Structure 1
Amino acid sequence: MLNSKLYTISPSTSLEVTPSNLPTITPSLIFLHFWGGSSRTYSQVISHLPAHHSISISFRGWGQSTGPQEPAAYSIYALASDIESLIPSLNIADFILIGHSMGGKVAQLLAGRNIFGSRLKGVVLLAPAPPTPFQLPEEMGEQQRTAFCTAESAEFVVRNVLTARPLADETVKMLVEDMVRGNRYAREAWPGYGMREDVSGDARRISVPVLVVGGERDRVETVERLECEVMGNVKGELVIVERAGHLLPVEAPEAVAGFIEGFIRKLVA
């Protein structure tokens, strides 16, 4: 993994970009993280993809990325626009979008808007949030808005809600650090309004190949929800990782990398 770099998108927003491996083989892989993550979320997956040029991005307000001090500035559309502004600066040719959870919803919007033309070769969605709106009950919404306020609450969520497999302590530490580091507006946006945004019209316009990877024991984006609300709007293939929960990039990084490798082989063939 090479050194991270900040790319300025606007006076208030800079995105942390972490490249790995030299761009000798195309397509490049662009990784978009979950609500609470950062460019570090994919480090284990990328370690299993040593031959592929990989670029992991922290959304505005997460990791080392900066963002506006405005409650309404962290919508799915704002996150997607940041990525659209960033990609021309990355000096890459063809690429695949890989999005996890909230990042999967952003990836669906990006692929459906398709301002990249033939450069976008495919999309891999890991336990993706569906493109359809979802409204949490008020009490649950309030719990989510405060889930990452302290290290203790974040660790509880990681160990008891988001995962079905035990994680190494150092992995939990990384996840918790990223969760509590996110700025207030970024932390509150997803449960506050991001998950209610409807990008299904764009998702139905995706014309490149799509692979959806779900966790058998995911309690956030269940297999049933993926089958109904994701596959009902996106044409593609659905595969399931056995005994895995929601945090596929850290629970099953080798399996995820294997699915990405297989997807790339089909595209190239």
Structure 2
Amino acid sequence: MGSRSKRNIGIIGAVAGVGAAGVGAAVGLRRLAVGRVRLRPDPDAGEPFGGLRGRELTVLADDGLPLHVEVDGPDDADLTVVFCHGYTLTQDSWHYQRRDLQGRLRAVFWDQRSHGRSGRSLPTHATIDQTGEDLWAVLRATIGPDEPVVLVGHSMGGMSIMALAERHPEVFEERVAGVALVNTSCGDMAEMTLGLPLVLAKLVRPLAPGALRGLGRRADLVDRARGLGADLAFVVTRKMAFADKHVSPTVVGFLEEMIRATPIDVIAEFYPALAAHDKCAALDVIGKVPVLVLAGGRDRLTPAAHGRRIAAALPDAELVEVDEAGHVLPLEYPGVVTGGLRRLVERVRPEYEEERTA
């Protein structure tokens, strides 16, 4: 195979992996743009992305798959926050929140199945319902039966929380004190335009599943070739995932590396579940607790309208919409996410303090 063909496969793999259903988008690319972006001021160049680690724990899912879990903070903390990452990412996508949310909090981070350091799932188990069951296994292994927990989910991680609510509503009465949903959706994912004109988006959507299945069948070849298009993949990632023109090149590169590390057949296996995602009914359960909803005004993958729809269906929700933000608020506007989580924690803590002293 020629270098040109390999490079094209690499670019396709990068596009296919960006975010929760970011598949098949045609993005105008120029090599000159790569150099310009990488030479910009980079205040986050010294951040130890991927280097923050906690106490490691292996949790077995209900099908026996090992899930990689890490715990930060004191075991006697009065509240635990569990972070669920998005499609094609890992627990390291919560880098800034992990760094900045410390003190009395206990934090649990885990890699979703087939992502990061968790085990590789059977293709038939690459579903949102299954990731909801995985979250339930993580909770049982890390949280005591009477200990309060706040659940935080980005993109597919938010969908996993919805699946947990649908299948285990009792957890939201007994353990869950609050929920944060970031750049996510409760349904209608098949209608995503990916920022394309509507006419073009309608042409792209039907092709995406077949294209991904084809790439998945040539996984070894595609994954080798993805690295050859790294510079162009950097531009695709920046275009599709971020909206802030001044986002750190190191942050973009970090996100692109996480996506590139996700095997193309894993991306292909999860895509149908994301496209068919519909957990609107689960909002009735989630609405029993305080909720923080964060949305990006220029999110191409789960547009802000989806966040507004979630917030409107919840009786006690705080909606934060960042106009100049894309699909990865935890990395693009980390202060907004961390600040929102601090407010949510302060909202739920008094209720549990009152219950303990009653």
Match of 1:246 among 327, 330, 351: 327
Letter in 2 for 1:121: A
Paired residues, number: 266
Matched residue, 2:151? 97
Letter in 1 for 2:333: A
Match of 1:114 among 148, 151, 169: 169
Q: How much has 1:71 moved relative to structure 2?
A: 2.4
Superposed, 1:48-197 pairs within 5 Å as 48-51=100-103, 52-68=105-121, 70-92=122-144, 93-112=147-166, 113-116=168-171, 117-128=173-184, 130-135=185-190, 137-141=205-209, 149=223, 150-151=226-227, 152=230, 154-165=233-244, 166-197=246-277
Q: For 2:125, what is the secondary structure of its paired residue? A: coil
Equivalent pair of 1:74/1:185 in contact (CA under 8 Å): no
Letter in 2 for 1:88: R
Q: How much has 1:164 moved relative to structure 2?
A: 1.1
**Partners in 2 of 1:39 and 1:222 — Cα distance?**
23
Equivalent pair of 1:124/1:210 in contact (CA under 8 Å): yes
Matched residue, 1:210? 291
* Structure with greater helix share of residues: 2
1:195-236 deviations in Å (ceiling 9; x for gaps): 3132222222321111101112222222223223x2354442
Equivalent pair of 1:12/1:67 in contact (CA under 8 Å): no
Max radius of gyration: which structure? 2
**Partners in 2 of 1:78 and 1:84 — Cα distance?**
10
Letter in 2 for 1:99: G
Matched residue, 2:61? 9
Structure 1 length-normalised TM:
0.87
Equivalent pair of 1:109/1:203 in contact (CA under 8 Å): no
Q: Does 1:36 align with 2:81?
A: no
**Alpha-carbon spacing, 1:109–1:12, altered in 2? closer, same or farther (3 Å):** closer
Structure 1 vs Structure 2: percent identity of aligned residues?
21
1:115-150 deviations in Å (ceiling 9; x for gaps): 42421101000111x222422512355677769952
Equivalent pair of 2:132/2:162 in contact (CA under 8 Å): no
Equivalent pair of 1:30/1:98 in contact (CA under 8 Å): yes
**Alpha-carbon spacing, 1:154–1:35, altered in 2? closer, same or farther (3 Å):** farther
Equivalent pair of 1:13/1:66 in contact (CA under 8 Å): yes
Matched residue, 2:97? 45
Q: How much has 1:23 moved relative to structure 2?
A: 3.3
Equivalent pair of 2:186/2:279 in contact (CA under 8 Å): yes
**Partners in 2 of 1:91 and 1:232 — Cα distance?**
30
In the alignment, structure 1 segments of 5+ residues that lack a partner are: none
Q: How much has 1:24 moved relative to structure 2?
A: 4.0
Which of the pair has the greater relative contact order for Cα pairs under 8 Å at 6+ separation?
A: 2
1:151-201 deviations in Å (ceiling 9; x for gaps): 436534421101112443443343233223224443123322323132222
Letter in 1 for 2:292: L
Letter in 2 for 1:95: V
In the alignment, structure 2 segments of 5+ residues that lack a partner are: 1-52, 192-204, 217-221, 351-358
Q: For 1:54, what is the secondary structure of its paired residue? A: strand
**Alpha-carbon spacing, 1:142–1:111, altered in 2? closer, same or farther (3 Å):** same
Q: How much has 1:75 moved relative to structure 2?
A: 0.5
Equivalent pair of 1:46/1:257 in contact (CA under 8 Å): no
**Partners in 2 of 1:57 and 1:144 — Cα distance?**
26
Q: For 2:326, what is the secondary structure of its paired residue? A: coil
Letter in 2 for 1:100: H
Matched residue, 1:262? 343
Q: For 1:204, what is the secondary structure of its paired residue? A: helix
Q: For 2:150, what is the secondary structure of its paired residue? A: strand
